[in-house]
Chains A and B, each alone.
Chain A
Amino acid sequence: MHSRLRITALALGIAAAAFGTARAQDLKSFEQKITTKVLPNGLTILICERPDAPVFSYSTFIDAGDVNDPSGESGLAHMFEHLAFKGTSQIGTTDYAAEKVALAKVEEANAAYEAEYLKPVGRDEKKLAELKKAFVEATDEAHKFVVPNQFTDIAERNGAEGLNAQTGLDETEFFWSMPENRLELWAYLESSRLADTVPREFYKERDVVIEERRMRTDSNPEGRLFEQFVATAYVAHPYGRSGIGWPSEVSQINATEAMEFHKKYYVGANIVVAVVGDVKASEAMPMLEKYFSRVPAGPKPEEMTTVEPKQFAEKTLEIRDPSQPIYMEGYHRPDYRAPDNAVYDAISDIMSNGRVSRLYRSLVRDQQIAAEAEGVSPYPGDKYPSLFVFFAAPLPGHTPQEMRDAIHKEIEKLKTADVTDDELAMYKTRTRADLLRGLADNQGLANDLAEYQTRYGDWRELFLQLDKVDKVTKADIRRVANQVFVTGNRTEAWIATAATAAQKAAAGKDGGAQ
């Protein structure tokens, strides 16, 4: 389910799919440990008792991510995630009544500034400067009521470990671990920020998020490649849009928009909270219910109507960049609910998992043209139709085109001959073992349980997936490969190394390369 593109020390790597399940008695043992409850406001609480050490981990899973950003507001879900650390009407303020008035003035000042700034003709620069000044004064005024970082301060002083959040295209997750005697304090903090968010210090935090964009995307060759790659592969669905936000849009998101996003998506029916650790459900559930009932009820937000249309022509993208070459290509595939979902996982495993994988053995070990080569899915998200992505980092002296040709040869083999019995069995064994290994970690388990509860309406699917894994056949793999890995369904992208102006000027002087 995790489709997060990550960057390894060398080039790029993709988090392995953690699908799978254990034997029946494992599901049974988890059924004894897990209690779920849907509150009247629609919010689902899931408790998994694992009393090995006096700690717990939690994951709050919101079924909304940057794919839900309204048009012109890319990066909004992520921006809101940052806002959720800024406190509430009780936390982080010296006088909320006065602060609320001051914050309303900040919004007015920002709206006035933006209106002038965006004038297509006749923008008055002098007036713009005045409006800017008024905006700064308004934020300074609002800032007088702020107790900075009080929310995180309370959490950290009470032993929060691994305190963080992440916004994906499909979801937003908040999580940390704590000593078990802070469970009620946590419930207060977490339910408060879900129910009672205040658009505090929004515009400074927006600057922080833009710095995050510079770090992850603008100043990172792989970040630049990934952003352009999905933008090329998708024409209609928001998976093609920058998740962290296009610079012009993320820099103009305002607090009013963020609060509207909150109102629509942070409703009970759209939230699952999973707690794993030294927690007794019989004692904790009534307390948690009391706190989390504060989250507003509200209808489950309407589903997206946009479906990416069938691609009808191959697309290619070359980025001339001073960095070293990387090759990637993607093929559109259906979403995670597709009957063939496990078949894609099998293909990914056989092509990419470890030194026995086909791409490693072919491109890295035998042909010795790549340092790394993998094929994984789903990317860039999993909730909606996504891509099956192949990528390779060539060895020095080898080209992206050689990567492409070698990958295509391996894909062709999948289409024309069955995988071996050993390969298929290996996929099934490893999937089962990986699921079991994942059960040892409170935080990982909380994240998985919350995610499966959201995506399938039942955490048991984490285990029941094995049935689908076991049913995958050699014929399935060949059929899916022939359906999906076709030229017209492909987007290719690569970095072609180009010297910078300075390097060109320096070339020949010392023979060095940068």
Chain B
Amino acid sequence: MIIYRYILNKCIKTIFICFLSSYSIFFIFSLVGNLNENISFLSIILLSLINSFQIFVYIPSYLIILSLIILLILLKSKNELLIIKEYLSINRTIIVFIPIILFFIIFDLNKNHLNEISNNIKSKFIINENYNELKIIYNKDENKENYRVLKNIDTKETKIGEYLFFNVQNQKITLAEYNINTRPIGDKIISQESFHYKDDNFANFLSKEIIFENIFYYIETTKKYFNLNKKQNKKNSIINLNQYFFISLFYLITTLIIFKKKMVDRNLSLTKVSLTILTIFFYYLIINEIHLNNYDLIFQLISTLILLTIFFNLKKNE
């Protein structure tokens, strides 16, 4: 138990030091870059702090890669790795790292959400003319498509300058709506006057009607495009499931490489090990960013399969 606690403590300490030193470097980099922003210095500092955090959000795996490489150097320099390997099998070593790996997997999976939160906070510090200029909410099925466009949104007053709605069936515009005179009631937008297009006819309506609901969900985020297609989301959920597996495999492989039997050898070149880890790291980053129009699922599955093969190969050689 002592050895478990010792490794875990040492690893957390290393991650913490790596995080702080990297964060400081990113902060300086961001601070220098943000000095031109037309906002108060305090806002620049806060903006730089968020920007630095966002670099970790983009690539959270970087932190664990760096920390594990440094941990390996530390453990090797005092021959502690030899003792660890003497007492713990590779499976047990992985168990020690499970909490850390889990933390990074969760972080990695939620990085888009965290990025969005960071962007929302950032938008409060920067007066950006384009911000909330436009929102597009759409639902595209096989034969039926709906598009809603919100233009010139005033987030403070919950007002929409222009509201557009288009309905398309079999590649023909069947219905359209245009509103400029709107007012908010709670989270709903009420139209006072609207202009309709239906079956080649245009008509003006003066009646009050609810044209948009749940407005806060859309305007309180910097996100611009909202796809409501459930079928697309279902397809995405299979890809997501594969992604969970892919990310988990990546972290497991990294840990396996760091703590494999050969590492005890004092003559083993750390540069070679670091290069191996970096190659897997780049592979992981690239695959995560590639989205194909066709056969995307197959492509993602093959990528996972490659990692799975590496994982079993490493396990076999232990």
- A and B assemble together: no
